[in-house]
Chains A and B, each alone.
Chain A
Amino acid sequence: QKEVEQDPGPLSVPEGAIVSLNCTYSNSAFQYFMWYRQYSRKGPELLMYTYSSGNKEDGRFTAQVDKSSKYISLFIRDSQPSDSATYLCAMSAQDTGRRALTFGSGTRLQVQP
């Protein structure tokens, strides 16, 4: 079993829809949770960052972490065609000596105009 599970999609939604992207994980030591966005033929770029549990909002994007369920979500409101990309969740344990991230496999999102 992978440490981080993410539905690969593709997820296709109409413009203006609310999008929900999710990851589950098994390592209870994870403390830092991130969402990266990757456009086609580009490297991933950090979109949202959350430490421990709770919600974080940034414009149309909301990240949620539920550590009790080992479940994280990214919500996109009023989705736009420019949001079409692959979204990768990533996480790290606070005390890891590796300073590396564990990534989900990514969910491909298509927002239809």
Chain B
Amino acid sequence: DVKVTQSSRYLVKRTGEKVFLECVQDMDHENMFWYRQDPGLGLRLIYFSYDVKMKEKGDIPEGYSVSREKKERFSLILESASTNQTSMYLCASSGLGQGLPYEQYFGPGTRLTVT
């Protein structure tokens, strides 16, 4: 069974804080993704990575950075959290080894509130 885990289900941070969201997958997937989900806007891609130490910007990378030092782990970093980054953050992974091509497996999400 594919498993994608995220470090926190709920997180409350103050404006200006540096925030780390961690994601770990156990299926040896090459690709990992960070999305944010907001009502009416659906899932929007922030960053993705198709290999260790590789990253590419998604549709809304501003205010975010990522790190992928190991294949199974993909971190999302909010350098200086702002209230407009209050959202649900979803991590996903995919790979050619297991599952269908392009099938993305999602973690349970982290609901981040920035006050």
Contact = CB atoms under 8 A, between A and B. Distances in A.
Closest 5 CB pairs of A and B: A43-B106, A105-B42, A103-B43, A92-B102, A103-B42
Interface residues of A, number: 23
Nearest to A6: B42
A39 to B, nearest CB: 10
B42 A99 contact: no
B50 A99 contact: yes
Interface stretch (A12-20, A44-52, A61-69, A75-83): A44-52
Contacts of A36: 106
Nearest to B58: A100
Nearest to B91: A43
Contacts of B90: 43-44
B74 interface: no
Contacts of A49: 100, 103
B109 A42 contact: yes
